[in-house]
Structure 1
Amino acid sequence: MENFILILLCIAIGYGIRRLHIFSKDAATTLNQFAIYISLPAMILLQIPKLSFSMDALIPIIIAWLVMTITAILILYLCKFFSFSKEITGSLLLVAILTNSSFMGIPIINAYIGESALPYVLIYDQLGTFIALAIYGTFIASYYSSKSEISFKIIVYKVLTFPPFLSLIVALFLMGVEFNETITKVLSSLASTIVPIALVAVGLQLQFKLPRSEIKPFSVALTVKLIIAPIIAFGICKLFSWDNQASIVSILEAGMAPMITAGAIASMAGLAPRLSSAIVGYGILISFPTTYIIFKVLSF
Structure 2
Amino acid sequence: MENFALILVSIIIGYFINKLKIFPKETPIILNQFVLYISLPAMILLQIPKLTFSIEVIIPVVVAWIVISVSAIIILFTSKMLNFSKEITGALLLVAVLGNTSFVGIPIINAYLGESALAYVLIYDQLGSFIILSTYGTFIASYYSITSELNIKIILIKILTFPAFIALVIALFFIGTTFHPVVTSVLSSLAVTIVPIALVAVGLQLRFRLPYEDIKPFSVALITKLIIAPLIAYLVCYIFSWDNQASLVSIMESGMGPMITAGVIASMAGLAPRLSSAIVGYGILISFFTTAILFKLIT
Equivalent residues of 2:141, 2:265 under 8 A apart: yes
- What is the Cα deviation at residue 191 of structure 1? 0.1
1:220 is matched with 220
Alignment-derived partner of residue 162 in structure 2: 162
Tell me what 2:59 maps to. 59
Q: Distance in 1 between matches of 2:182 and 2:137?
A: 39
Instruction: Tell me the CA shift for residue 252 of structure 1.
Output: 0.2
Q: Hey, what does 1:206 align to over in structure 2?
A: 206
Counterparts of 1:191 and 1:228, CA distance in 2: 32
Q: Are the counterparts in 1 of residues 137 and 262 from structure 2 also a CA contact under 8 Å?
A: yes
1:261 and 1:189 map into 2 onto residues whose CA distance is 25
1:25 alignment partner, SS class: coil
Aligned-pair CA distance for 1:151: 1.1
Residue type matched to 1:4 in 2?
Answer: F
- For 1:109 and 1:148, the matched residues in 2 are separated by 36
TM-score by length of 2: 0.99
Q: Which residue of 2 aligns with 1:172?
A: 172
Q: Helix, strand or coil for the counterpart of 1:279?
A: helix
8 Å contact kept, 2:14–2:204? yes
**CA offsets 1:23-66 (integer angstroms, 9 cap, x no match):** 00010000000000000000000000000110000000000000
Instruction: State the identity %.
Output: 69
Q: Is the 8 A contact 2:99 2:255 kept in 1?
A: yes
How far residue 149 of structure 1 moved from its aligned partner, in angstroms, is 3.6
One-letter identity of the residue aligned with 2:83: S
Shift of 1:150: 4.6
Match of 1:30 in 2: 30
Task: Give the SS at the match of 1:101.
Answer: coil
State the SS of the aligned residue for 2:241. Answer: coil
Letter in 1 for 2:15: Y
Kindly provide the CA deviation profile for residues 81-131 of structure 1, in whole angstroms up to 9, marking residues without a partner as x: 000000000000000111110000000000001000000000000000000
Aligned equivalents of 2:31 and 2:210: distance in 1? 26
Aligned residue number for residue 292 of structure 2: 292
The secondary structure found in structure 2 opposite 1:146 is coil
Quote how far apart the aligned CAs of 1:201 are: 0.3
3-state SS, counterpart of residue 242 of structure 1: coil
Is 1:277 paired with 2:293?
no
Match for 2:193: what amino acid?
A: T
Kept in 1, the 8 Å contact 2:143–2:150? The answer is no
1:150 and 1:2 map into 2 onto residues whose CA distance is 45
TM-score by length of 1: 0.99
Cα RMSD (Å): 0.5
Deviation at 1:134, TM superposition (A): 0.2
Q: Which runs of 4+ in 1 moved over 6 A?
A: none
Give the C-alpha shift of residue 148 in structure 1.
1.8
Select between 223-232 and 150-159 the one with higher mean Cα deviation. Answer: 150-159
Point out where structure 2 has 5 or more consecutive residues left out of the alignment.
Answer: none
Q: Distance in 2 between matches of 1:59 and 1:159?
A: 21
Instruction: Return the letter of the residue paired with 1:73.
Output: I
Q: Which residue of 2 aligns with 1:94?
A: 94
Matches within 5 A, 1:190-201: 190-201=190-201
* Structure 1: runs of 5+ lacking an equivalent: none
Greater alpha carbon shift after TM alignment, 214-223 vs 143-152: 143-152
The equivalent of 1:110 in structure 2 is 110
Deviations along 1:117-160, one digit per CA (max 9) or x if unpaired, are 00000000000000000000000000000122451111001000
SS of alignment partner, residue 208 of structure 1: coil
Q: State the 1:200 CA deviation.
A: 0.3
Query: C-alpha displacement at 1:298, in angstroms?
Result: 1.0
Cα distance in 1 for partners of 2:161, 2:100 equals: 21
